[in-house]
Chains A and B, each alone.
Chain A
Amino acid sequence: MAVYVYSITFKDHPLRLDGLDGVGAAPSPLRTVTAGPLCAVVSDAPEELRPKRRDIGAHQEVQQRLMSDGAVLPLRFGYIAPDDESVRFALKERADAYADLLSRLDGCAEYHLKASQDEETMLREILSESEAARQLNDAIRDGTADPDAAMRLGELVAQEVQARQETLASRVIEALRPFAKDVEPGLPGGADFLNVSFLVEAEQEEIFLATELSLAHQMGEGFDFRLNGPLPPYSFS
């Protein structure tokens, strides 16, 4: 019987999973497969599993519930093992690596930070600080510019945007790095210029959050900071 695998924990984890549903339209109960000091949380896999919000939510909820009582290694969504025995085998095969990882993650949570900048604010800043850009822009508005002026202005602005946002992103990351056990940068999407995950120990959580809040506050209304956490440590598993 194929099994869907959610997480790996130490065997002595309290594993309070009451009331939680597994994945699938008619979810099977959550249960465990144990090998040595480790334990995997699984459920019998549904006939067909498509990545619906409900299932992704179920996967995430299992992690969050487990996290509140102890270290958890969250699996990436969507992984199915042929049977219990193969799960047991996987736990035995990498027992030391998983145990080390769990110990490292114990008492830590992931915080995921994204940020975007209001385009208008950014453009005003660039125009105010770059004479070349300002002159091009003025000339285009006056109608006195060359035909290729818009392209040149656009290229100049694009380069400025890129440079400034890279600088901002790395400043934010470096400001928060001292309060994190680990940092995992990501690829910003959409309008974002910053996408980064931090692994934060419980003892540093308060100062980490205060620093992030202070940073966001100082950077002001032209910026939109979105901090998610505490999260199961997907990025550090």
Chain B
Amino acid sequence: MTVVPQTGGGPARSGGSGNLYDVLELILDRGLVIDVFVRVSLVGIEILKIDARIVVASVDTYLRFAEACNRLDLESGSKSPSKLTDLVGDSVESGAHGKSKGALSGAADAVTETIQGITGRDSDDEAEDEDAVEEDEGQEETVERRRRPARRSSRRERTASREEE
């Protein structure tokens, strides 16, 4: 029987309770259900499900997009955007066909180094230890989403520079 490492030294991105929010839907919506057992009331927790992203064909959505385009400062684009899809296309498709084994095994070579660099979710990512998940869900979500992009980008940069330099 193979044991899957759980703690620090293993390849875990995050498995601790500090990141409960991202896996909350798994704990609450998935997992084995034994029909004859009774579920406790989840009044309040239902809020989480309403968060489902809906690409709505609605006036609001359209106008919001138009407004966002309007506000873009096209002169000071951060980088040429056109290559993103191509990059993904090339790397993903060739990976799927098994051609660029080099790319994947090259990545695997760097695995030990990069995996060691991937710590568990930063301690500063832990939301306060509130008791009531349902009451604070809105706040947590906002805080996590605001923080995450900056932090994740920097992690990517660190990883990238380690691989490239």
Contacts and interface: CB of A to CB of B under 8 A. Distances in A.
Contact of A237 (B6, B31, B57): B31
Size band of the A side of the interface?
35 or more
A71 B53 CA distance: 34
Nearest to B60: A154
A34 B40 CA distance: 24
Contacts of A133: 69
Nearest to B157: A221
A20 interface: no
Interface in B127-162: 129-134, 141, 145, 148-149, 152-153, 156-157, 159-160
B22 interface: yes
B142 to A, nearest CB: 10
Interface in A108-158: 108-110, 112, 114, 116, 118-121, 123-125, 127-129, 133, 137, 140-141, 149-151, 153-155, 157-158
Nearest to A4: B40
A81 B13 contact: no
A213 B44 contact: no
A234 B24 CA distance: 11
Nearest to A91: B34
B9 to A, nearest CB: 13
B131 A217 contact: no
A107 B93 CA distance: 29
A230 B6 contact: yes
A118 B153 CA distance: 11
Nearest to B90: A218
B148 A234 contact: no
A66 to B, nearest CB: 10
B81 A53 contact: no
A225 B156 CA distance: 10
A207 B104 contact: yes
A215 B91 contact: yes
B34 A5 contact: yes
Contact of A197 (B26, B130, B148): B26
B36 A205 contact: no
Interface in A56-82: 56-57, 59-61, 64, 67-71, 73-82
A125 B118 CA distance: 30
Nearest to B144: A226
Contacts of B163: 217
A79 B82 contact: no
B65 A230 contact: no
Given A124-B81, A161-B55, A217 B159 contact: yes
Given A108-B4, A154-B63, 16 more contacts: A51-B133, A56-B133, A64-B6, A68-B5, A74-B32, A75-B32, A76-B39, A80-B38, A125-B85, A157-B66, A171-B89, A188-B52, A188-B53, A190-B53, A197-B30, A209-B118
Interface of A: 5, 8, 49-54, 56-57, 59-61, 64, 67-71, 73-82, 86, 90, 101, 106-110, 112, 114, 116, 118-121, 123-125, 127-129, 133, 137, 140-141, 149-151, 153-155, 157-158, 161-162, 164, 167-168, 171-172, 174-175, 178, 184, 186-193, 197, 201-203, 205-207, 209-211, 213-222, 224-231, 234-235, 237
Which 8 A-B pairs rank lowest in CB-CB distance, beginning with the nearest? A154-B62, A76-B31, A125-B81, A150-B66, A234-B30, A154-B66, A107-B2, A234-B31
